[in-house]
Amino acid sequence: MKSFCVFWVLCGFAAAAWALDREAFTITKYDLAITLEPEQQRLGARGKITLRNDSAQPQKIAALQISSSLNWRSIRVDGKPVQYVSQPYMSDIDHTGVLSEAIVTLPIEIKPKDSVELEIGYEGVIPLDTTRLTRIGVPEEIAKHSSWDQISPSFTAVRGAGYVAWYPITTESADFSEGNSLFEVVDRWKQREVGSQFEALLSLPGEDAEGPPTVLCGASGGGSAEYGRPWSAFTPCDLKRLGTVTPTFVVAKYIALSKSPLSVFSFPGHEAGAATYSSALEPAMKFVTGWFGQPTVPIAIADFADPNSAPFESGTLLMASLAAEDSKLAGINLVHELVHSALPSPRPWVYEGLAHFAEAMYRQEQGGRQAALDLLGLHRAAFLDSEKEISAAQKSAGQPLATTFDETYYRSKAAYVWWMLRDMVGDDALKQAISKYRAEDDRNPKYVQQLIEAAAKRDLGWFFDDWVYQDRGLPDFRVQSVHPWKTENGVQMITVTLENLGSAGAEVPFTALFEGGEITKRIEVRAKSTATTRMELPGKASETKVSEIVVNDGSVPEIDLTNNVFKIDAQQK
Ligand SMILES: [Zn+2]
């Protein structure tokens, strides 16, 4: 008992004297050989990682973390074993809710900006684990639909950092129950790893008569296989830049259906679901090519064993259940992945924002503008609450689109921003700007603004300031006043003044309703400002009476939609 106390006292002392900076090192390069044994649920890894000291102080200690169901086997520098202590570290960044952390003492102090290469080995199992969700009260049955990562004989699918640390990471503890802490830690990790290179060779030895299953890493799969018995299947994971892409591998006895650039991998019995994708490909290709150029990179759709599993995408691989035949959904999903294939970008709000924006445009093509706005509307809730906080607190921090690694922003808010830009400049100008976009030229944060301004011949600086470079919350429109009047010739007019109570400006549509018709106009209302415009009404003056003005058809995300209808009769009484 006494030695136990001494141990804890010493630990307490050590922690106080020397605070470990777990995020000092960024892992700039991974070069791993991963062996999978689905029958045993096992994963074994050997390889090299490069750590760069991104802190301001020299560092002698590095904290490397993997999932708690994996164990460290060796850590070497320059061929020599280095000292490390392995300990559990509580963090919801992994599905088990705990990480296996190796506190490594490096042979020499690494100066700021300097790097060190480590040879590492680790192994263990990756079974289905819902701990991080069930311990905050999510019922097991529901938890397993989102926490589906596992290696198992019948179905293997494992996502990387944020889900399962199947490769080493360096992070502070993340907590699901503490507001946004988990998402903050994950977003910070993605941001730190944005330029990192990730290479892993997956191999799967086996000897059953059916031969190797499909092994996917991202959309690339079935790299090569040595047939005969025993056999081996190899698939490379090759990511030039990590950023928003989470390395993900999948192993299953799939039926493959290929129609360039698409591969669909489905389970037996789901052939009809897979066929909806292959028949939705042609119109989706045509649409995407017209807006974003020719898709060039292969895309893949991979089935789930459990049809209730939540979809997930890793680069141009989309995991989605193929149990149902939903041609509308198939079309939308294909458009999304084809946009990624046609238009790579290092900026999350461009890469994902354009893909979600394209989904809405495709929906419009098939079901009209309202159907598109309904689809966008599903995104609004994702960022509304945090934007409300920003508007209320008037704080300038927030999540500027240009730099954010928060999914709700670079997907949902970005989709709206692209939609608003399209409404403002029109299809032709936006298409022209997109056709000029080159990922390798996108170095200046104002690059996208300049492309659109050049095509539209319009100043959009104010819009990009309010929506892209800064997070100023959302607009809040209301009709301040409506005045009917007549011209000398007896033409009935109304003058409408709109007010924007929010801190982000926008060009918003408003509609005047009268008996027998309606007229819609667009008007730019800057932040905390009013704007006035006049509108001519049709028909004989005395017969046309505007009953209502409705501002915003839902195309501009707003904090408060309850003050958008202005009843004129009621006002005049
Ligand atoms: Zn995407």
Residue 333 CA, ligand 1 centroid: distance in Å? 9
Closest C-alpha to 325, from 263, 274, 259, 255 = 274
Residue 417 CA, ligand 1 centroid: distance in Å? 16
Question: Confidence class of residue 1 from pLDDT cuts 50, 70 and 90?
Answer: very low
The DSSP string of 188-234 is HHHHHTTT-EEEEEEEEEE--TT---EEEETTEE--EEE-SSSEEEE
The pLDDT of 390-395, averaged and rounded, is 65
Question: Confidence class of residue 490 from pLDDT cuts 50, 70 and 90?
Answer: confident
Residue 315 CA, ligand 1 centroid: distance in Å? 7
pLDDT tens sequence across 66-76: 999 999 999 99
Spatial contact of 143 and 130, defined as CB atoms under 8 Å apart: yes
Distance CA 316, CA 309 (A): 19
Distance CA 122, CA 70 (A): 7
Question: Confidence class of residue 179 from pLDDT cuts 50, 70 and 90?
Answer: confident
pLDDT tens sequence across 329-348: 999 999 999 999 999 998 99
Instruction: Output the pLDDT for position 4.
Output: 41
Residue 508 CA, ligand 1 centroid: distance in Å? 27
Residue 467 CA, ligand 1 centroid: distance in Å? 20
Instruction: Output the pLDDT for position 488.
Output: 86
Residue 355 CA, ligand 1 centroid: distance in Å? 6
Residue 32 CA, ligand 1 centroid: distance in Å? 26
| 3-class SS of residue 183 | helix
Instruction: Output the pLDDT for position 224.
Output: 62
Residue 244 CA, ligand 1 centroid: distance in Å? 9
Residue 8 CA, ligand 1 centroid: distance in Å? 47
Question: Confidence class of residue 355 from pLDDT cuts 50, 70 and 90?
Answer: very high
Backbone angles phi, psi at 363, to 5 degrees: -65, -40
Residue 332 CA, ligand 1 centroid: distance in Å? 11
Residue 337 CA, ligand 1 centroid: distance in Å? 6
Tally Cβ neighbours within 10 Å of residue 499. 18
pLDDT tens sequence across 197-252: 999 999 999 888 788 899 999 876 655 666 677 888 888 898 887 778 899 999 99
Instruction: Output the pLDDT for position 393.
Output: 67
Which of 165-169, 391-395, 483-487 is the most confident on average?
165-169
Residue 336 CA, ligand 1 centroid: distance in Å? 6
Instruction: Output the pLDDT for position 383.
Output: 83
Spatial contact of 295 and 288, defined as CB atoms under 8 Å apart: yes
Helices and strands counted in the chain (H then E):
14, 27
Distance CA 485, CA 495 (A): 8
Measuring CA to CA, how many Å separate 306 from each of 141, 142, 145, 434?
Answer: 12, 12, 8, 38
Instruction: Output the pLDDT for position 6.
Output: 41
Residue 552 CA, ligand 1 centroid: distance in Å? 28
Enumerate the β-bridge partners of residue 531.
498
Residue 318 CA, ligand 1 centroid: distance in Å? 8
Residue 287 CA, ligand 1 centroid: distance in Å? 17
Spatial contact of 231 and 205, defined as CB atoms under 8 Å apart: yes
Residue 257 CA, ligand 1 centroid: distance in Å? 21
Residue 406 CA, ligand 1 centroid: distance in Å? 13
pLDDT tens sequence across 501-517: 999 999 999 999 988 88
Task: Say what the pTM is.
Answer: 0.91
Residue 437 CA, ligand 1 centroid: distance in Å? 18
Which residues neighbour 116 within 8 Å (Cβ) at sequence distance 6 or greater?
Answer: 50, 51, 62, 77, 106, 110
Question: Confidence class of residue 384 from pLDDT cuts 50, 70 and 90?
Answer: confident
Distance CA 233, CA 219 (A): 16
Distance CA 264, CA 300 (A): 6
pLDDT at 264 over 80: yes
Average per-residue pLDDT for the chain: 90
Q: Name the least confident of 108-122, 215-229, 380-394, 427-441.
A: 215-229
Residue 532 CA, ligand 1 centroid: distance in Å? 39
